């Protein structure tokens, strides 16, 4: 039975309670919202779906919620009544890619020599069916040539240094809060130096071009409701490729990438993100010995490229439902060559009531890896639901909303 049907079948699951904890020194905020709550978000599929879940959950809890439209940089829209759903890794890769993926060590002379030799020792065919480089002149010579050809196709691993690990989700959260705090300080400084006539319209424009409402310390934006699950940038291959090349971990890609075409999320594969793109490729090269022959264009569908063999190596979030649906293999990354983040709700805690923040945490605490995957599947593919309909199914499945009386819940074995 598909994951979507399993989600519907679980409509009567009981709520497990609040999973996120709050610090004792967290601001209480006002006793009630100062107006309708808005949930800013981008047009990314998973961000839009998560925003729809948060909006519906707040309405179910009695809040007035304003309609929202996608914006390029939702964190720049936070104010007294607006929170933002943010892909923290995508955000961090925009503002500080060199901290998220630290510069890897320079290659050693041994590594450079091995890399040079690799162009003559690796089978150039992505399918592993490259032809021997010489033709036998006789039976005995043929066996010798075949043996020589087999040996020549055996890759010699590149010596790999121990580089600094890419950031995990917790560090990415802290990085974002530090960046937001520095932006708030910049706005306060700008507001302090502005003339009265300038204060109303230009007191510190945000990175996204949106003027701040004020320049008070209470404007500080924090990550107050992170998802329980993480968004880990993951190396993916098809099962046949994993079997043929004996791939289990990202280190197994060492000197096996040259014949491959690679695809990656636009955050790390785009002329618009040159630094993040460079750092990903250098980390793969120096920390995993992986140097793909070519890269697919930005904005291509990574998992679709893999399934239809337009690429043989992909870098996407591990929560993508295609990983399970299309039997893709996620390569382990114990050395953390690749970074991870979360889908989190950001906001100005001084202005959002603590009870409202706890209600948002309640739903984000259910956004574990399975919850994020289920939600993304509901809004993906040819049978995709609207974000609003997907939010209802998802909340019913998690026990956070009662199923309507006219719903027919599928049972195992019906299909």
The pLDDT tens digits of the residues spanning 194-221 come to: 555 444 444 334 444 444 444 455 678 9
More confident residue, 5 or 299: 299
78 and 124 within one domain: no
Q: Where are the alpha helices (DSSP H) in 75-108?
A: 88-95, 97-100
Across the range 88-114, mean pLDDT stands at 82
Nearest CA-CA partner of 312 in 206, 200, 236, 387:
236
Residue 135 inside a domain? The answer is no
Name 296's Cβ contacts closer than 8 Å, sequence gap at least 6: 261, 262, 263, 264, 269, 302, 305, 310, 311
124 and 238 within one domain: yes
202 and 114 within one domain: no
What pLDDT does 292 receive?
Answer: 96
Q: What's the first-to-final CA gap in the chain, in angstroms?
A: 7
More confident residue, 320 or 153: 320
206 and 59 within one domain: yes
247 and 359 within one domain: no
Nearest CA-CA partner of 338 in 189, 232, 200, 192:
232
Domain that holds residue 294: 106-130+142-160+231-340
Residue 407 inside a domain? The answer is no
What pLDDT does 155 receive?
Answer: 63
392 and 245 within one domain: no
Q: Indicate the pTM of the whole model.
A: 0.78
**C-beta separation of 236 from 302 below 8 A:** yes
379 and 235 within one domain: no
Residue 386 inside a domain? The answer is yes
pLDDT at 111 over 70: no
Residue 147 inside a domain? The answer is yes
Given 340, 363, 389, the domain boundary residue is 340
Helix (H, G, I), strand (E, B) or coil at 357: helix
Confidence band, pLDDT 50/70/90 cuts, at residue 65: very high
Question: Both tokens of residue 38?
Answer: 């808005």
**C-beta separation of 258 from 76 below 8 A:** no
pLDDT at 414 over 60: no
The β-bridge partners of 234 are 316
Name 60's Cβ contacts closer than 8 Å, sequence gap at least 6: 395, 400, 401
369 and 310 within one domain: no
Residue 403 inside a domain? The answer is no
Q: How many domains does the chain have?
A: 2
Q: What is the CA radius of gyration of the chain?
A: 25
Q: What is the pLDDT of residues 382-410, one digit of tens each?
A: 889 999 999 999 999 999 999 998 886 55
157 vs 10: CA distance, rounded Å:
48
- How much of the chain is helix, strand and coil, in % rounded to 5? 40, 10, 45
Q: What is the DSSP letter of 332?
A: B
358 and 275 within one domain: no
394 CB burial (10 A radius; 0-12, 13-18, 19+): buried
Question: Both tokens of residue 213?
Answer: 């409402």
CATH number at residue 352: 3.40.190.10
Residue 415 inside a domain? The answer is no
Nearest CA-CA partner of 276 in 267, 287, 284:
267
251 and 207 within one domain: no
278 vs 15: CA distance, rounded Å:
44
Q: Which helix (H) or strand (E) holds 82?
A: strand 82-87
Q: Where are the alpha helices (DSSP H) in 248-348?
A: 274-288, 302-307, 322-325
115 and 175 within one domain: no
**CA 161 to mean position of chain CA atoms:** 26
298 and 260 within one domain: yes
CATH number at residue 255: 3.40.190.120
49 vs 43: CA distance, rounded Å:
9
Residue 153 inside a domain? The answer is yes
Q: Tokens 């060590």: give the residue.
A: 105
Residue 410 inside a domain? The answer is no
């Amino acid at each position: 039975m598909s994951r979507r049907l399993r989600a519907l079948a679980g409509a009567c699951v009981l709520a497990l309670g609040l999973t996120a904890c709050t610090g004792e020194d967290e601001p209480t905020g006002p006793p009630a919202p100062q107006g309708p709550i808005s949930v800013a978000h981008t047009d990314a599929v998973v961000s839009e779906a998560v925003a729809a879940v948060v909006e519906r959950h707040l309405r179910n809890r009695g809040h007035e919620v304003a309609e929202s439209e996608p914006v390029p940089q939702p964190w720049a829209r936070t104010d007294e009544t607006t929170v933002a759903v943010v892909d923290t890794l995508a955000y961090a890769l925009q503002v500080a890619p060199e901290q998220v993926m630290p510069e890897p060590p320079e290659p050693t002379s041994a590594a450079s020599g091995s890399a040079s030799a690799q162009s003559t020792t690796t089978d150039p065919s992505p399918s592993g069916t490259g032809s021997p480089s010489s033709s036998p002149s006789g039976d005995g010579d043929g066996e010798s040539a075949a043996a020589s050809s087999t040996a020549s196709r055996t890759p010699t691993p590149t010596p790999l240094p121990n580089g600094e690990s890419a950031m995990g989700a917790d560090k990415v959260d802290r990085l974002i809060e530090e960046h937001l705090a520095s932006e708030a300080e910049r706005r306060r400084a700008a507001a302090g130096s502005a003339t009265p006539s300038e204060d109303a319209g230009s007191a510190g424009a945000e990175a996204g071009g949106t003027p701040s409402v004020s320049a008070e310390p209470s404007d500080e934006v924090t990550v107050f409701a992170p998802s329980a699950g993480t968004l880990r940038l993951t190396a993916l291959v098809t099962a046949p490729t994993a079997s043929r090349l004996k791939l289990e971990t990202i280190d197994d890609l060492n000197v096996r990438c040259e014949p491959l075409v690679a695809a990656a999320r636009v955050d790390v594969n785009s002329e618009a993100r040159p630094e993040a793109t460079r750092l990903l490729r250098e980390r793969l090269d120096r920390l995993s010995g992986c140097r793909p022959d070519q890269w697919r264009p930005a904005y291509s569908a990574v998992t679709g490229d893999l399934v239809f063999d337009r690429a043989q190596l992909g870098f996407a979030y591990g929560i993508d439902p295609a990983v399970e649906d299309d039997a893709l293999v996620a390569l382990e990354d114990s050395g953390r060559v690749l970074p991870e983040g979360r889908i989190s709700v950001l906001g100005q805690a001084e202005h959002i009531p603590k009870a409202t923040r706890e209600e948002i945490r309640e739903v984000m605490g259910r956004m574990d890896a399975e919850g994020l995957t289920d939600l993304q599947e509901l809004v993906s593919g040819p049978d995709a639901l609207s974000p609003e309909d997907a939010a209802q199914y998802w909340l019913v499945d998690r026990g956070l909303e009662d199923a309507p009386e006219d719903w027919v819940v599928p049972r195992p074995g019906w299909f």
